[in-house]
Structure 1
Amino acid sequence: MIIVGVVLLLAGFILGFPLLVTAGIILLIIGLALMIAGRTGHAVGGRRHYY
């Protein structure tokens, strides 16, 4: 999810689509939050680790 967020963010900047930039930022933040929750030992989505 982090990689998809970065790709959408870059594509939005290159192509000039503000919607892609917004979607990229949202996916990047969600991916980072899930990664932090998974690394602290909390179960994310019923799984012990989030990859």
Structure 2
Amino acid sequence: MLGWALLFFIVAIVAGVLGFFTLASAAAGIAKILFFVFLILFVVSLIFGRRRV
């Protein structure tokens, strides 16, 4: 998940440099959403991963 967020971030940077601002903003938005989903899943896995039954 973090790899995909990084990929979309790089696409956003390249598109912004080349002047494709609409594509850059869309890719940045997708990267932001993927990063926050990664953070939420990471925290949940830290909390519930420590439980041993």
With the shorter chain as reference, the TM-score category is 0.5 to 0.7
Q: TM-score, normalised by structure 1?
A: 0.62
What percentage of aligned pairs have identical amino acids? Answer: 14
Higher RCO, Cα 8 Å, sep 6+: 2
Q: Does 2:37 correspond to 1:39?
A: no
Q: TM-score, normalised by structure 2?
A: 0.61
Render the CA deviation track for 1:3-49: whole Å, top value 9, x for unaligned.
Answer: 2221221111221001221122111111111111111116xxxxxxx
Structure 1 runs (4+) deviating above 6 angstroms are none
Q: Which has the larger radius of gyration?
A: 2
Unaligned runs of 5+ in 2: 46-53
Which of 6, 16, 19 is equivalent to 2:19? Answer: 16
